[in-house]
A and B are shown apart, each in its own frame.
Chain A
Amino acid sequence: MYPRAFHYHRASSLNEAATMLSQLGDEAKLLAGGQSLIPLMKLRFANPRHLVDLNFVLGTSYIKEEGGVLQFGALTRHSEIENSSLSARLPILHDCAAGIADVQIRNRGTIGGSLAEADPSGDWAAVLLTQKTEVRCLSPRGERTVPLKDFITDAYTTVLEHDELVREIIVKVPEKGSGGAYLAFKRSAPVYPTASAAVQLTMAGDICKDAAIVLGCIGLVPVKAIAAEDALRGHKIDDKAVASAMEAVRVAGDPQSDMRGSAEYKRTLAAALVKRAIEVALRRARGERVEVTHIYA
């Protein structure tokens, strides 16, 4: 299948890419990993007249740690994060990176592309919203840093202007005694999840000092399950607290019935994923090494 014809522009720097977007107007789109955009173009759901290719810009793919924060270049591939020892410092990132789609797609797809695409079923946004995450953006007018919670405004919609791009993603490494986990259920490897749950728990002994719970695929944007967080924060995490958190997850968000399952099924699934993610997050908060990733049949 061929997409509609387009003009190809190869950027040699991010600044040049932003200038190109500015000059070409809103019929131009950025090409990062292309694992969402190219299928959309082949199906002619997206028909950009100009593509600005970022893949030849040097120095856009990196993972660095500095002063307690991890920095990810926008074009860092999922597989680089999966195989990086740095992401092992934050196992929830590894859970996500190692489970997205399949090997081939992880070799191409990028963390910056995933956030900028803002697909309601995307993995990274849900995971990174449980962390202190900021997005560094670049346009011909300069740079700005946007907290991730303000970055995605609707399905497939972000605060990015038409000539603005993601330069870097900054994630604060949580304090000691904090543990997180991300679990997503999908019907087979290459597809988007049916539901997903990201949990980060900061413990002081038996008591949960802080909790962040974000659900994917059950709303137009990732859903912060505030009532579920409240059910855990300040409490001992026992069966009763977990049951209340699950009940809160069941009524959070607004899942749509579709070919992946009914709304009711997704609610039940999200609650079960949160339960499992809480168990893993607790064990990790205690310093245990636990490996989890996306679950599929």
Chain B
Amino acid sequence: MLETFDKVAIRLKVNGKPYSVSVEPRMLLVELLREELNLTGTHVGCDTTYCGACTVLINGATVKSCTMFAVQADGAEILTVEGLEKDGKLHPIQKAFGDSYGLQCGYCTPGLMLSTFQLVTKNHAPSEMEIRKAIAGNTCRCTGYQNIFKAIRLAGQNMKGA
């Protein structure tokens, strides 16, 4: 007989909006966001805890959402790239990435912007080394790092004014 695995009921807030869902224990957080909640701004890149395309914030700390089960997000507050924009206005970080051409193909951009979020909310003027450390877990395969660095510096300045 086929063994059955009970689903687990969880409640969480994503970008300020409450959700109650029932998930298979093995469902990854990134799959919950993309497949169940239709928040496809969070990307799946390597799916092996390397590239950081799936980075989201959980209770204010960045995590790779391909390396956490959805059941573990029970009670958590999650911020995805869709939560950055407010009332049709781009977030200062999004604006900085646009103004600095901080993206090429754009696949890594949601993750990079959320890693930037964790960095620049605490530190408006990060040094080169601090930026390097902050985005070491985000890979840009277009290798557009020069402009990403510019974007992060500008994001810090934008956040100071915000």
Contact = CB atoms under 8 A, between A and B. Distances in A.
A107 to B, nearest CB: 4
Contacts of A35: 49, 67
B68 A34 contact: yes
Nearest to B75: A56
A190 B50 contact: yes
B90 interface: no
Interface in A47-81: 51, 53, 55-56, 79
Interface stretch (B92-100, B129-137, B140-148): B129-137
The number of chain B residues touching the other chain, given as a range, is 20 to 34
B69 interface: yes
Contact of B5 (A7, A31, A103, A108): A7
A198 B55 CA distance: 31
A11 B115 CA distance: 31
A264 B69 CA distance: 40
B137 A101 contact: yes
A7 B6 contact: yes
B26 A6 contact: yes
A6 B28 contact: no
Contact of A53 (B5, B64, B72): B72
B61 A107 contact: yes
B28 A2 contact: yes
A39 B6 contact: no
A40 B72 CA distance: 17
Contacts of A3: 26
A270 to B, nearest CB: 23
Given A34-B67, A42-B48, A79-B61, A105 B8 contact: no
A9 B141 CA distance: 38
A289 interface: no
Interface of B: 3, 5-6, 8, 24-28, 31, 47-50, 52, 55, 61-64, 66-69, 71-72, 74, 115, 118, 133-134, 136-138
Closest 4 CB pairs of A and B: A102-B137, A189-B136, A8-B25, A107-B61
Interface of A: 1-8, 10, 31, 34-35, 38-39, 41-43, 51, 53, 55-56, 79, 101-105, 107-108, 188-191, 296
